[in-house]
């Protein structure tokens, strides 16, 4: 594995790989790697000749009140993980390298960013799409791997790539959970042991909602009540939102039909955590996707 910190070097490296017939797989991250990140790396490794992982804590996607300075950073540990996953290039630009001059260009996806996390983080997705557009421009034609844990982000990035005709195939990958069900997140490091136990209520609420839908519930308000009722029993958890939306436009549904996303965001201790599941209702049956749970031995 080589580590690259300059934009022009990464661009040249990817161009050379493509010129020799290799496909490029790209995994954008903010580092502090866990098995969620590693699952994206493994998929990218399986499917491509050259795999690039970027590690950049992007200031543009943090509001002034958010955790930019506290965000966990562990470059040496991350480099070891990426190397162990067989990554070819770790791209670690400085903030000055990514933003050498004041940013006067913002890439903004309307509509999909209005609800869910966009409501409480109104500048967040503009920061995400602006940096991801820059990264896609630097890496060039590639497959880019994103986790369904950040379902709204995946939809927003996919729409950006489509609207702008970017030569990037955006690949969505399963949400990865800890053995106790908590969705893996770099921000789980903020949780003390009591918060960590409390955080399990989010995935337990999703399981309860999944059971209700499997038992025939099709009223999103009833699912919402089931989610909020259970989460309210946990005093350490302050709900931001629990919503049932259509996966295509992320707008609230009036009945559970087709493919819907059940998404939650909540504050636990210092962390703001998100979690979700998708439910597909078809003529032939029901498919609930809660992601994958890793074994204790893998953590
Ligand atoms: P981050 O470093 O948090 O910005 O995440 C980088 C990528 O990893 C994004 O595409 C995330 O959706 C993905 N990711 C983070 N956590 C998980 C998880 N628990 N399961 C699957 N993908 C994840």
13 flagged as catalytic: no
**Tokens linked to 132:** 């991801």
From residue 118, how far is each of 30, 31, 224 by CA, in Å? 19, 22, 19
Tell me the HSE value of 7 on the side-chain side, using a 13 A CA sphere: 13
Can you tell me which atom of ligand 1 is nearest the CA of 146? 10
Q: How far is the CA of 182 from the centre of ligand 1 (A)?
A: 13
SS3 content of the chain, % helix, strand, coil (to 5): 40, 25, 35
Identify the pLDDT of residue 298. 85
pLDDT digits (tens, 9 = 90+) for 32-74: 999 999 999 999 999 999 999 999 999 999 999 999 999 999 9
Partnered with residue 262 across adjacent β-strands are 244, 277
What's the rounded Cα separation, in Å, for the pair 254 and 89?
46
Ligand 1 atom 17, closest CA: 36
What's the rounded Cα separation, in Å, for the pair 103 and 40?
29
Average confidence (pLDDT) over 187-194: 95
Of the candidates 232, 110, 209, the residue with the CA atom closest to the CA atom of residue 159: 110
Map residue 25 onto helix, strand or coil.
strand
Neighbours of 164 (CB within 10 A): 14
144 lines ligand 1 (CB under 6 A): no
Can you tell me which atom of ligand 1 is nearest the CA of 150? 12
Of the residues 8, 13, 34, 37, only one is catalytic, namely: 37
Q: Which residue has 């038992």 as its token pair?
A: 215
Of the candidates 297, 274, 298, the residue with the CA atom closest to the CA atom of residue 118: 274
Q: How far is the CA of 73 from the centre of ligand 1 (A)?
A: 15
Neighbours of 55 (CB within 10 A): 23
Q: Using an 8 Å Cβ cutoff, are 182 and 199 in contact? A: yes
Q: How far is the CA of 165 from the centre of ligand 1 (A)?
A: 24
**Tokens linked to 108:** 């903004």
pLDDT digits (tens, 9 = 90+) for 135-188: 999 999 999 999 999 999 999 999 999 999 999 999 999 999 999 999 999 999
Q: Using an 8 Å Cβ cutoff, are 38 and 80 in contact? A: no
What's the rounded Cα separation, in Å, for the pair 152 and 191?
24
Q: How far is the CA of 75 from the centre of ligand 1 (A)?
A: 17
**Tokens linked to 81:** 């993980």
pLDDT band at 296 (very low <50, low <70, confident <90, very high): confident
Can you tell me which atom of ligand 1 is nearest the CA of 30? 2
Mean pLDDT over the full length of the chain: 97
Of the candidates 67, 74, 68, 89, the residue with the CA atom closest to the CA atom of residue 14: 89
What's the rounded Cα separation, in Å, for the pair 289 and 174?
9
175 lines ligand 1 (CB under 6 A): yes
Contacts (Cβ under 8 Å, ≥6 apart) of 166 = 133, 136, 160
Q: Which residue has 């500048």 as its token pair?
A: 123
């Amino acid at each position: 594995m080589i580590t690259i910190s300059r934009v022009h070097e990464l661009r040249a490296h990817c161009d050379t790989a493509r010129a020799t017939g290799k496909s490029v797989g790209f995994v954008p991250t903010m580092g502090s790697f866990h098995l969620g990140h590693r699952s994206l790396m493994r998929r990218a490794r399986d499917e491509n000749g050259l795999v690039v992982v970027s590690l950049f804590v992007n200031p543009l996607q943090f509001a002034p009140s958010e955790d930019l300075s506290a965000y966990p950073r562990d470059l040496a540990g991350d480099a070891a993980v990426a190397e162990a996953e067989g990554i070819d290039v770790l791209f670690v630009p400085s903030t000055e390298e990514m933003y050498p001059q004041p940013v006067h260009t913002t890439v903004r996806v309307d509509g999909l960013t209005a609800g869910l996390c966009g409501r409480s983080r109104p500048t967040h997705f503009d920061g995400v799409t602006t940096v991801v557009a820059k990264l896609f421009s630097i890496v060039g034609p590639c497959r880019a791997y994103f986790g369904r844990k950040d379902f709204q982000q995946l939809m927003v990035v996919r729409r950006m790539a489509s609207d702008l005709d970017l030569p990037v195939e955006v690949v969505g990958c399963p949400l990865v959970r800890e053995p106790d069900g908590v969705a893996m997140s770099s921000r789980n490091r903020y949780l003390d042991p009591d918060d960590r136990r409390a955080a399990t209520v989010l995935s337990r609420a999703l399981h309860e909602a999944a059971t209700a839908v499997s038992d025939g519930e099709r009223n999103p308000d009833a699912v919402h009540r089931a989610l909020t009722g259970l989460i309210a029993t946990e005093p350490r958890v302050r709900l931001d939102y629990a919503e049932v939306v259509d996966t295509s436009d992320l707008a609230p549904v009036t009945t559970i039909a087709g493919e819907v996303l059940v998404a939650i965001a909540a504050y636990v201790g210092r962390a703001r955590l998100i979690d979700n599941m998708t439910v597909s209702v078809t003529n032939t049956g029901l498919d609930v996707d809660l992601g994958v749970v890793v074994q204790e031995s893998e953590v």
